[in-house]
Amino acid sequence: VAVNKLRQFAQIKNDQAQDLNLCYSAGQTYALLGLTHEAADSYEQALKLSKQLHDDKSHARTLRQMGNLKLRQSEWKEAIACFEHSYKISQDNGEPLDEAFALNSLAAAYFHTAAWRKMETACEHALALAEKMNDDDLTACVYNNLGAMYNLQSQWDKALVALQKSQPLFEKLGDLRGLAETYNNLATAYRDKEFWHEAGKYYAKSLELARQTGDVVVEAQVTLNRVELYLLMHDLDMAEKQCQITLRTFHGLDHKSGEADACRLLGVVYTRKENWGLARKYLDEALQLYTQYHNRLGLAETNKSFAEFWRSKGNKKSALKHLQKAIEHYKQLKAPREIKKLEKLVRELKEAEELRS
């Protein structure tokens, strides 16, 4: 309301520059609150105004923010287009800092599309620019992105090295949101290395900071990552409760990939509770969302979860079918540890089938 009143005042004064700044700030506030449609409207206005004012710097920055919104809505191609456009404008106008931040945003988009080589190249280029300018904020952001990528590739020691570089930089800058994301990635690295106490400690720290900054998206993502820790610790009731809360949050935010992740984990929870009807319902929903938004990692993990579902029900044929699909997706993702693990499971199932016959 306050921003709208200020905008009306700026429009009365015909101060387009002030109106542009207010639209950009409103977009950031709405995005933080998870109000994606309102944020998109504000950024659209800012893009129009920056074009009218020939303000290339503001135009490039607004494109980057618009790209971040597209990422939240799993619109990967649109997000990449925004970031590439922002990068080109900044490069053409000799704005190395904005150029590097656009590259870092591109790296985040490549992360979601599992384009690892492109992601690493973008990170390396952004890091070179950051070090040249001695910019701690950008350096921290790039290392955090690299940490997330190494986590996904099961390269946990490399992830920890990268994240332990970003953590002190975010602390020095007092960037609580960046720190919340880094703690989340650190917790996930420790969780997958089976250091559960460390993982729990960092998830708690991450949640505290996400709540402190009012970032509902990061809070929901951390909560969902912690669900996987509860599953490892066989705390199915807590996993179910947290999953249901997170699913409602992501649905309200129109955050499709988060919604799909919550559905998949609920499918796993209900499989282990032997509630076959609900397990199938949520796994089907996850598969549908991941297919719709071309999320290869989600497809790999959901097929793996479906294999567990069918195996638990004693249907080895269906379990094998989903394991093969999961392996194909993991091959595309270049995730050798997962492939090795699932191929071993395939052999075990086939041997058990041969013994039966």
For residue 7, the model assigns a pLDDT of 53
For residue 4, the model assigns a pLDDT of 58
For residue 162, the model assigns a pLDDT of 97
For residue 13, the model assigns a pLDDT of 56
Say which DSSP state 113 is in.
T
Helix (H, G, I), strand (E, B), or coil: what is residue 343? helix
For residue 284, the model assigns a pLDDT of 98
Q: Which residues in the chain land under pLDDT 50?
A: 1
For residue 123, the model assigns a pLDDT of 95
- How far apart CA 297 and CA 167 sit, in angstroms, is 26
- How far apart CA 174 and CA 180 sit, in angstroms, is 11
For residue 5, the model assigns a pLDDT of 54
The helix (H) or strand (E) run that includes residue 255 is: none
Q: Encode pLDDT of 238-256 as tens digits.
A: 999 999 999 999 999 889 9
Please state the pTM of the whole predicted model: 0.86
DSSP H helices in the chain = 2-12, 16-32, 36-52, 56-72, 76-92, 96-112, 116-133, 136-152, 156-173, 176-192, 196-213, 216-232, 236-253, 256-272, 276-292, 296-312, 316-333, 336-356
Q: Encode pLDDT of 188-214 as tens digits.
A: 999 999 999 999 999 999 999 999 999
For residue 301, the model assigns a pLDDT of 96
